[in-house]
A and B are shown apart, each in its own frame.
Chain A
């Protein structure tokens, strides 16, 4: 079946079997390999993408179901080629990754949290990444990365007086 997908702001087409997941279609047909193949049954979160801005498992939706959504993969998060989003940068800085396999999913799940609030509690962060499994870090530095990113985003574009007051 022919499908037309809106991915990272571009309209892309693919000819897929109905049983092909969005994950496999992104990776094999559209060459966007940032979403990772982990458990392939919705447990690990490595394949997380955004559908209309909300985190979802790309292994649990078939490409033929995904038309009409605004799909964002990790490749679509950076402001421009060679740059990183504030959250991506915070993951690097706090060493919020080791092997990196879970990282795209972690970042996209955390990204949706920071879209909703820039003052997340630790519990909010744990809840947001509760569907993403990491086997390297023990999660501590991932949580720290989200906290650092939230703090930086809170301060960006804020007048100096407001920043001083927040200290």
Chain B
């Protein structure tokens, strides 16, 4: 399997990169861990690759107002071991070990995973769950777009020619008693998720839910935050969680493929969504999560 021919350019600045990316047949490449397989299988055939990996200022993790901004070319392995991510966006830290393998995380970037928008990818799932903002840079400046507008289909995003994903802003939840949960089913650890569920919960002093988020990946054509807001104000009992997740996932469009049927995906989405929320609630209460039980 060899890619079709293309030109390769490595611009010096992000502005130059955006100019080059204005050409519809050009594609940005950073870590290449998703794009190169697509090139090898000729599912992608750009005329030109614009290498943004070494652009100054595009890599790094910093506090940005009420969010943590992760530069597009920040390596997944770097984010996985970053203390700021662990402390402020623990859901991302929990999901990152599920992203590929150590050798692909050494090359793969956070922005690349977002821009490629694989429906089963974990970083887009966390972005959708938490309502992250995708920062898009053009030659005119930068603008940001909420994750649920950015992801529009399998490997499809709202990104336009001339735009480059330059960072992802993950919102930081403030206050005490915050818990997270993450579950995934796949054929082998680190392989593509058939179904993944990510949850984050915040409790008030009386142990009632004051804020929560649940996202489901791998089921439909994009990662999706589902509406379980009916649980706000409750004590997050397992029965109520199961009912809310069942209702919230009922109208998810599930994919049917060789690995898993649509029915299986829907059923597992309910189970994993319930587990992820229950784990998050237990963690927020200070109890040991039942993750280990699987």
Contacts and interface: CB of A to CB of B under 8 A. Distances in A.
Interface of A: 1, 17-19, 21, 40-42, 45, 48, 51, 54-57, 59-62, 64-65, 109, 112, 127-128, 130-131
Interface in B163-198: 188-190
Nearest to A19: B3
* Residue in A45, A60, A131 whose Cβ sees the most chain B Cβ within 10 Å: A60
B7 interface: yes
Nearest to A43: B37
B106 A19 contact: no
Interface string B91-113: 00000000011111011000000
A72 B121 CA distance: 30
Q: Which 5 A-B pairs have the closest CB atoms?
A: A131-B101, A18-B8, A41-B37, A55-B103, A54-B106
A17 B5 contact: yes
A130 B102 contact: yes
A56 B107 contact: yes
B41 interface: yes
B32 A109 contact: no
Contacts of A1: 8
Given A19-B39, A64-B8, 8 more contacts: A40-B2, A55-B102, A57-B33, A57-B107, A60-B33, A62-B36, A62-B49, A65-B29
A67 B183 CA distance: 39
- SS class of chain A's interface: helix, strand, loop or mixed? mixed
Given A55-B102, A127-B102, A131-B101, A19 B2 contact: yes
Contacts, number: 81
Contact of B101 (A21, A59, A61, A130): A130
Contacts of B51: 65
Contacts of A42: 33, 36-37, 104
14 contacts: A18-B5, A19-B4, A21-B36, A51-B107, A55-B102, A56-B103, A60-B33, A61-B36, A62-B8, A62-B49, A65-B53, A109-B103, A130-B190, A131-B103
Contact of A18 (B40, B49, B53, B189): B49
Interface residues on B, range: 20 to 34
B104 A57 contact: yes
B32 A55 contact: no
Contacts of A54: 77, 103, 106
A65 B6 CA distance: 14
Contacts of B33: 42, 57, 60
A1 B53 CA distance: 19
* Residue in A42, A54, A64 whose Cβ sees the most chain B Cβ within 10 Å: A42
Contacts of B2: 19, 40
Contacts of A57: 33, 103-104, 107
Contacts of B101: 45, 130-131
A73 to B, nearest CB: 14
Interface string B20-52: 000000000100110011011100000001010
A48 B103 contact: yes
A127 B188 CA distance: 12
Given A1-B8, A18-B7, A40 B40 contact: yes
A41 B189 contact: no
B7 to A, nearest CB: 6
A60 B106 CA distance: 12
B1 interface: yes
Contacts of A64: 8
B99 to A, nearest CB: 11
Contacts of A21: 36
A65 B189 contact: no
Nearest to B75: A54
A4 to B, nearest CB: 14
Nearest to B2: A19
B4 A61 contact: no
Contact of B104 (A17, A40, A60): A60
A61 B35 CA distance: 10
B103 A19 contact: no
